[in-house]
Copies of this chain bind each other. A is one copy, B any other.
Amino acid sequence: MGEKPSHACDERGFLSWFFEPDSVAVIGSFREGFFGGYVIVNSLLKAGFKGKVYPVNPAYEQVLGLKVYSSVIEVPSEVDLALIMINARSVMAVAQECAEKGIRALVVISDGFAERDAEGARLQDELVEFARKQRMRIIGPNTAGVVNTANGFNPCPYEAGYYKIKPGPVAICAQTGMVNPQAFPYPTLRAGVSKICDFGNKCDLDECDLLEYLEQDPVTRVISLYLEGIHDGKRFLEIARRVTARKPVLLLKSGRTEAGAKASASHTGSMAADDRVLEAVCSQTGILRLEKFGELFEMPKLFSSQPLPEGNRLGIMTFTGGIGVLAIDEAAKYGLRLAALGPDTRRVLDEIFPGLGTMPVDIGPAMAAVKEAFDRYSEILGGVMEDANVDALFSVLWANPVGSIIGRYVEAYEAVRNRLRKPLVTWVYGPNAATALELRERLEDMGFPVFDKPETAIRALGLASRYKRFKESAQGPRYPA
């Protein structure tokens, strides 16, 4: 069997074969279409993957300018990883050839295994047994595979219409292909992504292996995880405790109800863990539990861009009292309480408009009453952000219909960015969906997370506050007796 060069296997574990291969074999159909080997090869080329790509299929000679080999055995050089997307019944034979070739890592994209029926479960068991004997590792089957933005490795097996993904600090791993490029518009995720992984049926590699790999991954700073079940609770507990001490781990777990767990069993062939046990695991390990699917994509951006809040005193700046009240309600769920501005800040704000220095800072009346009020916006935002009595700020921005005030907000945020010592989360609203989106995108491009609902923004701060408290308690008391 071949040996993976030391840079990968030795230092970072076997998952580097999957995320950092120097050479991959793509075993599938090379007919043009929505999915299959053709799509994988096309995606790899367009994403700028620097490693070697070897298409394999006896029925083809060429695809996208590359020679197609009739078998992995025929590939003239070493192969680090095989991506397999053929009929489930044919996978075993290909796995045997891969073993013969010395390939140590397989992504089995094919479905029709344990998630389908008893015959599929048998095929999966056979495959696992063979791989164990051969010291081969498997991601899948029934997976949409992996992505690594650092080396342009995006072998997405379903046509996504885009190929390059903005590199960034967020790793998204799931027991579903719903996090892979064909399912989610990553160009809209401005925080940027480090790694993506769909575990599929988890016949071999699972969330524990991924967490260990991501713990060591220098690019990944926050991990978003969707699971339907956990194979090895004890190992998960151990690893999660270690990883969360270094990086926040956000977990969405489905199959929380009996009915959901039953459906999960038929979907990926795994049994759902008891939800109460998981709850205990989360509180022991500092894993932050998510509640909605969309949070997998939306929550990490706070952690990837903002400092953690030092305390629980929440500042609110709003154009509308109503949203201030809703935000305070939401904040209470996370132990965040409304900050009171210090006397100096209060004086400055009250001079701009009477009562402006009282939390929540309601800019609406001032903007309607004060001449050239938007000239003062930067001063107000800066004052609140600098106030030592505020640990985190929720900023509500109204985008006017023609977008003419967007520049003033951007200026104000620019000024704040240069001395950011506390998290700032934003919600943008307004009568024109396009200008609201423009403002949102400009702020996100500057590194400020903007959320699509006010409650989500507060929740993000709430999770950050929880994580901060967990880290402090994990480190023990700061002033030992």
A21 CB-CB contact with B under 8 Å: no
Interface stretch, picked from A171-179, A409-417, A464-472, is A171-179
Given A188-B433, A267-B322, A362-B267, do A329 and B115 touch, yes or no (CB 8 Å)? no
Instruction: Assess whether B267 is in contact with A433, with CB atoms less than 8 Å apart.
Output: no
Chain B: CB-nearest residue to A292: B455
List residues 104-146 of chain A with CB under 8 A from any CB of chain B. Answer: 111-112, 115-117
A188 to chain B, nearest CB (A): 6
Establish whether residues A293 and B326, one from each chain, have CB atoms under 8 Å apart when the complex forms.
yes
Q: Which of A347-388 contact B (CB under 8 A)?
A: 354-355, 358, 360, 362, 365, 368
Do the beta carbons of B263 and A324 come within 8 Å of each other?
yes
The answer to whether A162 has its CB under 8 Å from any CB of chain B is yes
Q: Is A184 an interface residue (CB 8 A)?
A: yes
A429 within 8 A of B: yes
B326 touches A455 (CB 8 A): no
Interface hits, A384-425 → B, CB 8 Å: 398, 400-402
CB within 8 Å of B: which A324-343 residues? 324-326, 328-329, 331-332, 337-338
- B161, B255, B294, B331: the one within 8 Å of A431 (CB): B161
Q: How far is the CA of A35 from the CA of B431 in the complex (A)?
A: 14
Give the docked Cα–Cα distance between A331 and B429 (Å).
30
Interface readout for A152-184 with B: 1 if CB under 8 Å, 0 if not? 000000011110000000000011111001111
A259 beta carbon closer than 8 Å to chain B: yes
Say how far A451's CB is from chain B's closest CB, in angstroms.
11
Q: How far is the CA of A159 from the CA of B405 in the complex (A)?
A: 13
Q: Is A447 interfacial (CB-CB < 8 Å)?
A: no
Instruction: Judge whether A436 is part of the interface by a CB distance below 8 angstroms.
Output: yes
The complex places the Cα of A268 from the Cα of B161 at a distance, in Å, of 50
Interface centre among A117, A326, A354 (most CB of B within 10 A): A326
Min CB–CB distance A56 → chain B (angstroms): 20
A183 to B325, CA, bound (A): 17
A176-217 interface with B by 8 A CB criterion: 176-178, 181-188
Query: A226 on the interface (CB 8 Å rule)?
Result: yes
Which residues does chain B contribute within 8 Å of A264, judged by CB atoms?
325
Residues of B within 8 A of A401 (CB): 159-162, 182
A78 in the interface, Cβ–Cβ < 8 Å?
Answer: no
Query: Which of B268, B332, B431 makes the CB contact (< 8 A) with A321?
Result: B268
- B residues less than 8 Å from A178 (CB atoms): 320, 322-323, 429
Residues of B within 8 A of A255 (CB): 325, 329
Using known A-B contacts A320-B176, A455-B292, determine if residue A325 contacts B260 with beta carbons closer than 8 Å: yes
A289 on interface, CB distance cutoff 8 Å: no
26 CB < 8 A contacts A-B: A34-B400, A111-B365, A160-B431, A161-B400, A161-B401, A161-B402, A161-B431, A162-B431, A174-B322, A175-B322, A178-B320, A182-B431, A184-B429, A185-B436, A187-B433, A254-B325, A255-B325, A257-B332, A258-B332, A260-B325, A263-B328, A266-B358, A267-B325, A267-B362, A292-B455, A293-B453
